[in-house]
Structure 1
Amino acid sequence: MTTVGFIGLGIMGGPMAANLVKAGFDVVGYNRSQAAVDRLAEQGGKAASSVAEAVRDADVVITMLPDSPDVERVALGEDGVLANAKAGVLYIDCSTIKPDTARTVAEQAAQQGVRALDAPVSGGEQGAIDGALSIMVGGEAEAFEAASAVFDAVGKTVVHVGKAGSGQTVKAANQLIVAGTLELVAESIVFLEAHGVDTEAALSVLNGGLAGSAILERKGAGMLKREFTPGFRTELHHKDLGIVQAAAREAGVTIPLGAVASQLVAALVARGDGALDHSALLKLVEELSGRS
């Protein structure tokens, strides 16, 4: 597997494609925004003008798209991946989408002799840049093994978690944990500031104990400075929490704290902050506390 067709060169997809180039893959990229395609070309990749051109000669196809309808359109559409990929290609979808959409794509791919994996990622923009993403993979074990070199180029923790759709289910749980943790970190910062505590020192000691987390480590400093440049946009997390709620209801599982976190993220989007990083939950906590 030497040629990779990569569709979706945004905040996450762009760095992932660049890391594949660095690892020696022949990467052909497509994105709706031409600037992203040009950037990949400057980094040693090749530019494609359509999905069909990106995947036609590929041994591996990767998509990194915003939502389930985008994946359905790009993977299953008349000019999409399955309509243009050669037989035996390995198709890896790294988007975060509904588990049932991932299963549908896998079923249709199998009918056309294409091996499909749902492989959503976690780690944010910095993780993508560093090639240190956590990747949760659903699909056949044989396809997972065949994709190992690709995953090694973009991820640090790569785990096969089960059949088709399982990767998306695990990613939904990931987004549930991240949203809840971000909200509690935001509440803690507002609480500490209200008491006049040295918040930098406080977060440092908290991160060294049981309360420590990747959220505190990666997001804490930016939250203290009120810097919310998106590593992961709030509007996308809002979409992901909708997936969590639907999947939980389908399974008959109650997620009371998750429901509250989901409503708070929805409120942040509704007030016009959907384009900010999801750590901007801090703004909402400040407003609710009368400290904005």
Structure 2
Amino acid sequence: MAVVGFVGLGVMGRPMAANLVRAGHEVRAFSRGAAGRERAAELGVPVVGGLAEAVRGADVVITMLPDTPDVRAVALGPDGVLEHLGAGAAYIDMSTIEPGAAREVAERFTAAGHDVLDAPVSGGEAGAREGTLSVMVGGPEAVVERWRELLGALGTTVVRVGDAGSGQVVKAANQLVVATHLQALAEAVVFLEAHDADVATALSVIARGLGGSTVIDRKAAAVLTGDFAPGFRLDLHHKDLGIVQGAARARGAVLPVTGMVGTLVQALVQRGDGGLDHSALVALARELNGSGSAPEQSGGPR
């Protein structure tokens, strides 16, 4: 069992830290937001008063943060993880950030004598709660194997996908697939509704064929009921698609469908729906077809 400093107690981080506690690890968790700390404590996660207290004496520090600037600040900034990490301790970033930034972080920690992995996840809030996340790991094979059991407390699929930064490349690809699947689901629903089909029955049949996907399994209920309480917020998916587009431009890759879906996600975010679940793409599809109105803001005020 390891002493784990866990930084970032948002929708994903809280259940992940709780799963590490249940697995028997000694967790010292911290989040900049008081609400995140309080909710984590309610889940039985030991919460400490500051980042330094979470990091000092840890065998490994895990961060689960919203965006690239957050990781740079928390990992590399003044009074950050690198400054307080003890000799021989490792750093694993499980946030979703730019691949180039992940490589920069790896270089800085490696130069200071620390093992480091980028290990973003897929599976949403449900996967985080259930410990069934898919973990895409970039870094040296020996380091991945050293921490495989710990990562196994968070996900049922833990795969090394390459060297430093590779985890973030694969996560970006995952996010473009999820976004296009969600838009395909939204358009299928609108098409079925236009033909007065029983949408629930139709989706149950589609889910069992070649058109089936985890997106249908996890998101069909929200699409059918219009309950867009966030499991994964549109504003975060908007951020992720920005990472995809930036990384694509850096290598000259052309992604026309991703660009179109990204524009639709951006439209929802720009009008104030970023706090809704990304399955709310169906609401925009209905509006474009004159068959729906703007969704209720169950994810927060506009």
Which category of TM-score, normalised to the shorter sequence, fits these structures? over 0.9
Q: How does 1:1-292 map to 2 (within 5 A)?
A: 2-292=2-292
- Mind listing any 5+ residue stretches in structure 2 that lack a counterpart? 293-302
Aligned residue for 2:164, secondary structure, equals: coil
Q: How far 1:254 sits from its partner (Å)?
A: 0.7
CA contact (8 A) 1:58 1:89 kept: yes
CA distances 1:196-231 after superposition (whole Å, capped 9, x unpaired): 111110000000100000000000111011110101
- The 3 A distance-change label for structure 1 pair 107 and 218 is same
Equivalenced residue count is 292
The percentage of counterpart residues that share the same residue type is 57
Conservation of the 8 A alpha-carbon contact between 1:175 and 1:240: yes
Alpha-carbon offset, residue 175 of structure 1: 0.3
User: How many angstroms apart in 1 are the aligned matches of 2:235 and 2:103?
Assistant: 24
Q: Check conservation: 1:87, 1:112, Cα contact below 8 A.
A: no
- Per-residue deviation, 1:278: 0.4
Secondary structure, counterpart of 2:229 in structure 1 = coil
Amino acid at match of 2:159: V
Question: CA offsets per residue over residues 13-47 of structure 1, 9 Å max, x none?
Answer: 00000000000001000012223223333444322
Partner of 1:151: helix, strand, or coil? helix
The Cα offsets for residues 34-92 of structure 1, whole Å up to 9 and x where unpaired, read as 23223333444322111111101110100000000000000001110000010111111
Q: TM-score, normalised by structure 1?
A: 0.98
45-54 or 89-98: bigger deviation: 45-54
Question: Structure 2: how far apart are the matches of 1:87 and 1:110?
Answer: 12
Inter-partner Cα distance in structure 2 for 1:291 and 1:126: 30
**1:113 Cα deviation after fit:** 1.1
